[in-house]
Amino acid sequence: MGHAFPVRVFRSSLVGLVVGVAILLAVLLVAGYLRGQNKYPDPVALAAATPYQNTFFDPDPNHPWNQLYGMLFIRPAWNGKLYGQDEMDPLYWGTTRYLLDGPLHQKALAALDLFIQSGSAQRIKDPLKRALLQRMLWAVFDRWSHRFFDPYDRDAIARENTTFASEHRELQIRLVKIMRSVALTDEEIDALPNNYNRESAAKAYPPAFDPTHVDQPFLPATFFSRADWVELGTDRYEQVAPVHVKAVSGRSDFHVLISLPSGRSDTLAYLKRLHDFQPHWVYDQSKAGNFFDRGGEGPPWTNADVPQVPPFTKFALVRTANLINNKGEIRNSPLMESVQIRVIRTILPNHSSGGEQSFFLFTLDQRKLLQGEGGLVARGKDDLGFDLVLEYGQDPLQKHSERSRDPVYHGEFSRVSSCFSCHSAPGIFSMNSYIQFFQDRRTLVPPTLQEGTSESLEWKQEQYNWGLLQAYWFTQ
């Protein structure tokens, strides 16, 4: 019994020591983790890991087009995982330092200079490959035309975020030289494959929605045939799909379409009823049809008595590629880049934020397109991707994602499921082109029939990045 007290003291001291060390380690780990949240990976390590080995444009992985593709579009994340091999849009955000920082920037300049000086652009004559390379380079150019913005870098904010201004300019000049060297004539652009028609003809997906299999992807063959679908537009505000147009800075056209289950004539009749109805907007919240149509900003609200679409009405958003011809002008192309389809299955009462809908997403698989297929591939609910539409500038490949504690998670999410977050309101109120949810200036006038026109071309030509590109295009 005489030794019990010292043993207890020793054990207590040992436990206290262990707990103290554990707390200290935890504090150090947390501090290191927090410091590492915005830490960019070692540029030298990234330069060594840059995955040039791919066969996107040519069977030879050392082909200069493959080297260029690997350098610009296949990105190693902070933990070494590779991204971008199968992305339609390059993975660059407002805080992306990739190819801007340290030795990796000099490596990028050297690679671009070698591509230009060796005349590598002429090594591939295929118009489709040249078009795909140009649209990729154009996307990177536009991203580098915005100021680098890091909200956590107070020094950069004090400098009006001019960080990497010279690096941006050095890369932009070279990108435009290559874009111009692979530009197509108007005739070549018009002759590019209509991959939507290819995909429809292949019949890999049924052409109509099946109410007994509500998750079965379908791809209508009649979007632009004026058989059942009606395309919407507006002459009252800039864009009918402004968030999507601005997300790609006008490099694509976006077509908003609607189809009632009873056919095109009834769809047109419904649109007329919708347009003629008054008032569309109310200031009495008890009469509002969708409390969420202003994003919590207050009145006016959409009127609950607005003519509603019937169940099984379909909405579609179709994205097609714009290109720059050999004269430095923007042109529409036949290349379809993505299709989003929503089917309204049930409509809950007014003042509701939901209803049953089926969502379908098709995105362009460029490798399948190059192999002669349509390349429009249905994405499932478990297919993950990055937010390049409603992104807030933070590059998830440069730091641990705030969305998860999983150390190998970089911020990917289900692209199909994400559609519901912006289109969850009942029936017609789920169509943001009607409620003008994202418009800078609301006109309180619904969209109208507008087929065979392009709104993105005029908008794009008013943007700063287009003027900058034109300056480089015609002065080099």
Chain mean position to CA 467: 23
**What percent of the chain clears pLDDT 90, i.e. is strictly above it?**
44
Q: Which is higher by pLDDT, 183 or 476?
A: 183
* pLDDT at site 156: 52
Going from N- to C-terminal start, the domains of the chain cover: 43-182, 193-459
Q: pLDDT class for 457, splitting at 50, 70, 90?
A: confident
Nearest-angstrom CA–CA distance, 420 and 343 = 12
Phi, psi angles (nearest 5°) of residue 353: -110, 20
Residue from 212, 185, 70 nearest 130 by CA: 185
Token match 């009873």: residue? 262
User: Are 349 and 355 in contact, with CB atoms under 8 Å apart?
Assistant: no
User: Are 256 and 317 in contact, with CB atoms under 8 Å apart?
Assistant: yes
Residue from 49, 53, 72 nearest 62 by CA: 53
> Residue 358 pairs with which residues in a beta bridge?
343
Averaged pLDDT, 269-284: 88
* pLDDT at site 281: 82
Question: pTM of the entire structure?
Answer: 0.83
Q: Which two tokens stand for residue 473?
A: 């295009």
* pLDDT at site 304: 84
Task: Report whether pLDDT(169) > 60.
Answer: yes
User: Are 410 and 387 in contact, with CB atoms under 8 Å apart?
Assistant: no
pLDDT tens, residue by residue, 52-82: 678 999 999 999 999 999 999 998 877 677 8
Averaged pLDDT, 291-306: 68
Nearest-angstrom CA–CA distance, 42 and 57 = 29
Q: Distances from the Cα of 430 to the Cαs of 11, 93, 311, 353, 450, in angstroms?
A: 65, 28, 13, 9, 20
Phi, psi angles (nearest 5°) of residue 315: -115, 145
* pLDDT at site 214: 95
pLDDT tens, residue by residue, 82-130: 888 878 889 888 788 889 887 889 989 999 999 999 999 999 999 999 9
Q: Which two tokens stand for residue 436?
A: 């003008």
Nearest-angstrom CA–CA distance, 69 and 74 = 7
Give me the DSSP letters along 366-435: HHHHHTTS--EEEEPTT-EE--SSS--S--TTSS--TT---TT--S-EEHHHHHHHHS-SSGGGG-HHHH
Residue from 111, 134, 130 nearest 122 by CA: 130
Task: Report whether pLDDT(28) > 70.
Answer: no
Residues 6 or more apart in contact with residue 404 via CB below 8 angstroms: 411
Token match 């207050």: residue? 298
Radius of gyration of the chain (CA): 26
Task: Report whether pLDDT(25) > 80.
Answer: no
Task: Round the average pLDDT of the chain to a whole number and report it.
Answer: 80
Q: Which is higher by pLDDT, 16 or 372?
A: 372
For residue 311, cis peptide bond before it (omega within 30 degrees of 0)? no
Direct distance between the N- and C-terminal alpha carbons of the chain, in angstroms, rounded to an integer: 93
Task: Report whether pLDDT(400) > 60.
Answer: no
Token match 């800039």: residue? 238
